[in-house]
Structure 1
Amino acid sequence: MDWEYIDLHAKQWIMEAGDKIRDSFDKTLNIQTKSDPNDLVTNMDKEIEQFFINKIKGNFPNHRVFGEEGFGDEIKNLDGVVWIIDPIDGTMNFIHQQRNFAISLAVFENGIGKIGLIYDVAHGELYHAINGKGAFMNGTPLPTLSKKTVKESIIALNATWVMENHRIDHKLIIPLVKDARGTRSYGTAALEMVFVATGRVDAYISMRLSPWDIAAGAVIIGELGGVVTNLKGGKLDFLTKDSLLAAKPGLHQTIINDYLKEGKW
């Protein structure tokens, strides 16, 4: 498989998609809800996913597409080549802020991440990686990640998870928040994983994410020596929703051993 050839096409398409999104900034969006009133989707989410599907199927007809908005293939396994796409990760931010959102695109082969692309559209920053070849931002190599202690760390974490909620025992997360240097929340899993990759934050924790939220980020972080698992420390399968811990080396295992191991994630 010529991954550099596929990567070249993917980069071209993600930049074109970014142009389409920027062109929509001064237009009225058609906004709908999905699973709940805060789970939003716009006409642009749908149009961008269909744009990618048309490009992929037109150039790589044997490849399958796993997309958030459901216009791709019915994916029950990751056999062969599968593109995993979130056309706009952080739709609420896109609607309210026109920033803090990203296009997330990954290409997997037989369950292994081969290409990861995350495009911060508002800032014109493309984060990209090919398995085994390092990770980059707009062509500039990103340095490998260094170890950090919890007390030195900034952790990306939604405030929901330290409030009483029906998914987890929030009391397990509170000590981690107290011990960390600080916490941040950006409302977009793709960019929060980019921020781990670039060292802007040291770890990112979430309780429930879909494959298209994290597939590209997992490829990029892995190229830099970071670790991406669920909160039990187990391997992600990229077919179902799961919890997530993405962190610098060393810090990842410390968080699991010292804070998360008693949790029923």
Structure 2
Amino acid sequence: MASSASTSLKGLREELRNNVSREVLLLARTAPAKVTSKDGLIGHDFVTDIDLSIQTYLKTALTSLLPSARFVGEEEFADIADPSNGLMWIADPLDGTVNFVSGLPFCACSIALLADGVPLLAMVVDLTMATVWDAEAGRGAARDGVAITFDPRRAQSALISVSSGTVLLDAQTPGLGLLARLRRASPRLRILGSQALQLCYAAEGRLRLVINREAKLWDDAAGWLICREAGAAYTLATRESLFPLKAGGDAAQGNNIFSIAGEPRMVAEVASHIQQFSGTAPHDKSYRDDPSPIGISTIETKEPPRDRRNADVRPRDAESV
């Protein structure tokens, strides 16, 4: 029975890596890019036709692959009832939509399969470079079919990525001094704008740390497993566990989660430092930047520039797991 389950997971992993990723890449390059603001917050949260077309495809494809699993996507998200029971796909069709709308080549599609509230399979597709990261619980992580592990020597000199919300928290919290501390540990700080993708970089040590005050479940579910299987650390700022998902918890309700990932020692030190400031509200459910007073609700934009040399490239065949 265990052997059959393992074979099934391996088959699903290869199907995600070799076929689902390819279809997602094609959709990301061919769908029209009509952009609409979410919740009336102009300039802060967008959904495009590409988000919607990829999610529609994923719901159909993933349900076909595993009919017994529920499907939960970022678009049309609703609170997850009984999140620790059964099989469930968690998907973010286009993580980094603001980058995409702005023509910045750092965005991804993220997919995770959870069993009883814990990720079993994960895949993140870089929609610009056509790179695919994937992982299976207990069987490691890979980039384009080649096994990856966290590289501590590379991480020592790597950049640190923070989110806009983390910058705001630092500015609004007297004495926190988080950015100054981070700046002493890294040659540069960056706000990259795609949580799923930067977690994959952290998994390899290409980023020393990723700190995100306003991450969501669909941003982190796949990256959590990829980091874990590669040997990078992941924690919430509260030092609680993200998984298994808890009914009524912030993650299951679609609220912000304050996550830290990367080099194990620094992840622990940063979480400890943040915990010293009881007024920082690391699980602030309602955090958003102040909405811009300038903008329109619907924007027509050209497809962001991409390197089309990779448009029809299929990720390398999966190796034996």
The TM-score with structure 2 as length reference comes to 0.74
**Distance in 2 of aligned mates of 1:148 and 1:171:** 31
Cα 1:70–1:159 shift into 2, 3 Å: closer
Aligned to 1:180: 185
Residues 215 and 259, structure 2, Cα contact 8 Å, conserved in 1 = yes
Alignment-derived partner of residue 35 in structure 2: 31
Question: In the alignment, which of 18, 21, 25 is matched to residue 14 of structure 1?
Answer: 21
Alignment deviations for residues 232-260 of structure 1 (CA, whole Å, 9 cap, x no partner): 22111342431111122222112223x21
The equivalent position to 1:255 in structure 2, one of 259, 264, 270, is: 270
- The change in CA–CA distance for 1:175 and 1:18 in structure 2 (over 3 A counts) is same
**Which position in structure 2 is the counterpart of 1:208?**
214
Of 147, 151, 173, the match for 1:169: 173
In the alignment, the residues of structure 1 paired with residue 182 and residue 174 of structure 2 have an alpha-carbon distance, to the nearest angstrom, of 11
Aligned residues with identical type, % of pairs? 23
Partner Cα distance (2:23, 2:175) in 1: 45
- Of the three residues 85, 88, 105, the one matched with 1:99 is 105
- The structural deviation recorded for 1:165 is 7.7
Q: Which runs of 5 or more residues in structure 2 are unaligned?
A: 246-250, 283-321
Question: CA 1:95–1:159 in structure 2 vs 1: closer, same or farther (change >3 Å)?
Answer: closer
Aligned equivalents of 2:128 and 2:220: distance in 1? 20
Q: State the structure with more CA Rg.
A: 2
Cα distance, 1:41 vs. partner?
Answer: 0.3
Is residue 239 from structure 1 mapped to residue 256 from structure 2 by the alignment? no
Asked whether the equivalents of residues 204 and 232 of structure 2 are also in contact (C-alpha less than 8 Å), the reply is no
The structure-2 alpha-carbon separation of the partners of 1:159 and 1:30, relative to structure 1 and needing over 3 Å to count, comes to closer
Q: Deviations over 1:198-221 (max 9, x none)?
A: 211111111121100010000000
Deviation at 1:191, TM superposition (A): 1.2
SS in 2 for 1:202: strand
> Whole-Å Cα distance in 2 between the matches of residues 132 and 239 of structure 1?
24
Per the TM alignment, residue 153 of structure 1 is displaced from its structure 2 partner at its CA by 5.4
Q: What SS is found at the alignment partner of 2:207?
A: coil
Q: Which amino acid aligns with 2:185?
A: A
SS in 2 for 1:62: coil
Q: Deviations over 1:112-137 (max 9, x none)?
A: 21111010021010011111111111
Asked whether the equivalents of residues 157 and 206 of structure 1 are also in contact (C-alpha less than 8 Å), the reply is: yes
Give the secondary structure class of the aligned counterpart of 1:124. Answer: coil
Amino acid at match of 2:274: L
Aligned counterparts of 2:164 and 2:51: Cα–Cα separation in 1: 26
What is the one-letter code of the residue matched to 2:270? I
* Ranges in structure 1 where 5+ consecutive residues have no aligned partner: none
Range moving further from structure 2, 105-114 or 231-240: 231-240
1:157 to partner: Cα distance:
0.7
Q: Kindly indicate whether structure 1 or structure 2 has the higher relative contact order, using CA contacts under 8 Å at least 6 residues apart.
A: 2
Q: Could you say if the C-alpha distance between residues 169 and 148 of structure 1 is closer, same or farther in structure 2, counting changes exceeding 3 Å?
A: farther
Residue-by-residue CA offset, 1:111-170 (whole Å, 9 max, x unaligned): 121111010021010011111111111011112342799x8553211355334689x627
C-alpha distance in 2 between matches for 1:146 and 1:157 = 19
- Distance of 1:251 and 1:69 partners within structure 2: 33
Does the C-alpha gap of structure 1 residues 78 and 43 become closer, same or farther in structure 2, counting only changes over 3 Å?
A: farther
